[in-house]
Structure formats: C-alpha cells, structure tokens
Chain A
Amino acid sequence: MLDALFSGLQLVATLDLQLWQIVALSLAVSLSAVALASMLGLPLGAAIAVGRFPGRQAVIVVLNALMGLPPVVVGLVIYLLLSRAGPLGAFGLLFTPKAMVIAQTVLVLPIVAALARQSVEDAWREYEEQLRSLGVEGARAALTVLWDIRFSLLTAVLAGLGRASAEVGAVMIVGGNIDGVTRVMTTTIALETSKGDLPLALGLGMVLIAIVLALNAGAHLIKEAAQRRYG
C-alpha cells in the first residue's frame, strides 16, 4: 500500500506530462458531462417537483431508479448507437472524448434530476403559497425556486460529479481507452491493474480520490460562504 502511495506521489512530483494529460482529460470529460447533465437535469427535476400530471408518481419512481443505471450498460447502448453500423454512426463520434461526455451525461442526468426534484419538492412547500399569491406559477415558479435553492443543489451536482469521475465501464466502451486520446484516470487504473502493475494503479487511484476530494472541499466552502452571505 505504501509503495503505491509513493508511486502516485512520485508521478505527481515529477510532473509527469502523461499523467497530467490523463488528469486533464478526466476532468474535462466528467465536468463537461456534469455541466450538461445539470443544464438539462435541474430544470427537469424542478418541473417534476412542481408539476401535477397523471403518472407523476411513476415518473418519480423511474427517475430515482435510473440513478442506479449500470455504467457498462449505458456504455454498451451508446456504443451501439454511435457505431458506424448504428443509427448515429455518421457523426463519427465513437472513440472520441465527445462520446465519453455523452455517455457520462446519460449516467449523471438521472442523479441530478432526481436529487433536484427532491430538493425542489421540499422547498416548494415553503414557497408555493407566496409565489402563487404573487401570480407566479408553472415554469416561472419552478425556476424561481430552483435558483433560490441553488446552493443546496450543489449537493446534487457533486453527487453527479462523483458518479462521473468514478465510473470506468461507460468511458471504456465508448472511448476505447486510446492512449493519448481517450485514456482517463479510471481506464488507466483498469489498464495498469490488468497489466499487473498494482502499485501504479493504486497510486493513480489515490491521485483520483485526492482530486475529487479537492473539488468537494471547494464546493463545500462555496456553500458555507453563500449560507453566511445570503441566509
């Protein structure tokens, strides 16, 4: 274990260019996916929270269940869609970072939407009457609440980020783990493990955890500062 930590720290210390390329790509892919998933998922969650329509309970149950989508399955489905032999093959997206972003967006979207729905629904109880009294309803009300609880939504976004940066199944299949092109931290760890280079794999794993921890800490500080400022 100790030499694993040492390996990892050595890589970081020597500013190994390849490692930083891999880290940068991992962040680019996961952060892009989370950004996209949030742009789509936050309003979607808010709409479900505030809306009243037949089958609403079923939609909530399905959305919650989709949080547990297996990454390999998502990877496989996106692969079949993006393959040249598949319906979207003409775009030539397979084995590119774009495909990885697409797959991770699909994985993260239900998480962000489901958690946002819960947060908005809880807050809605507080806001609903006042907003309706002011004549604000529907989409406008949902967006007002969404924006008002923006700092607690950070938790939903972080959950999505956690999922994206941790998964290997989807990015492996749709990215192909191509050296220098679609190789990210998790697929590198998988590769090094399968090559039997366990200390290196562990070292990389620790770098990955450290990065995710740093992102979470940053978000937490933002939340705390905002809480103090806005109440």
Chain B
Amino acid sequence: MSAILPLRLEDVSFAAGGRMIIERATLSLEPGPSTIILGANGAGKSVLMRLMHGLLAPSSGRVAWSGDGARRRQAMVFQRPVMLRRSALANVTYALAAAGVRAAERERLGHEALDEVGLGHIAQRPARVLSGGEQQRLALARAWALHPEVLFLDEPTASLDPGATREIETIIKAFDAAGTKIVMSTHSLGQARRLGDEVIYLHQGRVVERAPIDRFFPHPASPEAAAFVKGELPWA
C-alpha cells in the first residue's frame, strides 16, 4: 500500500519567459499502473514531470501528495545521467547517505543495488568513464537503493542504442514488479506499449487525453493524439 499516492495535480499551470508551458493540468496519479506521459517535443513532458517531482514550483495550482515524507519516497532518472566523480558504488552510497541511511548499511545496500542492475562487477570503477548505457543503469541502481514508491523517468533511453535501451527497460520492469509506481515520459510509441499500463497525452501544455494503453493505441480518442500516433515512425 502506498503512503504517498495518489498524487493530485489541481489546476496546475507553469509559465516561464512569458510563455504558458503547462496549462491548467488537473489529474490524479494512482498507485499501481505504470503511467506513460506521451507527447511531441516541446509539449511540456519534462516540465510536467519536474512539477510532479517537486523540482519546479507551479505558477498556480497545487501539487499534493497524499502522505508525509513524499520527498524521500520518490526518485527521478533523467535523460542524461549525472554522476559524481567517484566510483560507481560511491555514487549509490552518496544517495543513501543523503537519504539518511546509516553508514554501516550503505555499502551493503549499494552492492545490492549494483547487483540488481548487473553492475556488480564494476563497483569500484570511476562512474564517469562508464558508457552511456552503464551510467543510466547506475542511475537506476541509485534509485533502486532508495526503494522509492514513485520512480519518475524523463526519456531515459532517448540517448541510448537499442541494446542499452533493452537493458534499461528490463530494469524498469523490475521496479514495477517490486511495487514502485512508474511515471515515464517518452516519445517512442513502442516503448510506451512495452512498459506502460496507461497513457497521459500532452499537447502544447494541456492534458488532452488519458486512457489505458490498450484503449489508446489502436484508436486515440483526441484528434491531436491521433495525429501524433499516425505521424510517429512505426518502428520507434
């Protein structure tokens, strides 16, 4: 059972540089289904995720979690992983330390997380010399160690090749199986179908459609989503 979900967005807007980037979004994220945030480039997917995760404050409206301690119970993985100039293991233990985990526990939990994503053999290697795919896996290990209730992923495989993409998707499925709510943005329809249970379609900053995956894909209800699905490359 989740302590902090559902997450409610109440009439949330975000404006910057004179432009309205997210316009009056009202929705509720429930525990359970993996939520895919879909949309064209510039639709506002990244901003919406950052509003949900708390990296941005809404210009108007409210972002409300249901319980205490939401800060500590979520994690986010970005399109480009940001690693410290330390070993892979040290990057994970850093996150554990920030989360208040006792020193004695950190190394053990760190190794566990690295093993989970298949990086156990390079625990001592400097994180920054790892390949893009390995660094993204490391980012997921870092998130895994925190056992978050919600995992936000902002286009996590956009910079990776198909092989690395597959590895990342496997790990995301593992998070889902372990009970973490997945909220992921992507512009790959294939990825959305492989990983998602429901889709929120964003068009120019507005939530235009929301539907379970098998209802959305053969026939999106909104004209904007339909145009998007048609225009997207079939093999992406």
Contact = CB atoms under 8 A, between A and B. Distances in A.
Are these two chains actual partners, yes or no?
yes
Contacts of B98: 134-136, 140
Contacts of A133: 53, 55, 75-76
A231 interface: yes
A231 B78 contact: no
Contacts of B99: 134-135
A230 B128 contact: yes
Contacts of A129: 50, 55, 76, 78, 82
A145 B75 CA distance: 20
A52 interface: no
Interface string B85-98: 11000000011001
A132 B85 contact: no
Contacts of A132: 55
B166 interface: no
B85 A231 contact: yes
Given A132-B55, A133-B53, A126 B82 contact: yes
A133 B55 CA distance: 7
Given A129-B55, A133-B76, A134-B95, A229 B126 contact: yes
B72 interface: yes
Interface string A124-162: 001101101111100010001000111000000000000
A130 B126 CA distance: 18
A135 B78 contact: no
Interface in B107-132: 126-129
Contacts of A130: 78, 82
Contacts of B128: 230-231
Contacts of B71: 135
A231 B84 contact: no
A149 B71 CA distance: 27
Q: Which of A127, A130, A132 counts the most chain B CB atoms within 10 A?
A: A130
Interface string A32-52: 000000000000000000000
Given A133-B55, A148-B84, A231 B126 contact: yes
19 contacts: A129-B55, A129-B76, A130-B78, A130-B82, A133-B53, A133-B75, A133-B76, A134-B94, A134-B99, A135-B71, A135-B99, A136-B98, A140-B98, A144-B84, A144-B94, A148-B84, A149-B85, A230-B128, A231-B127
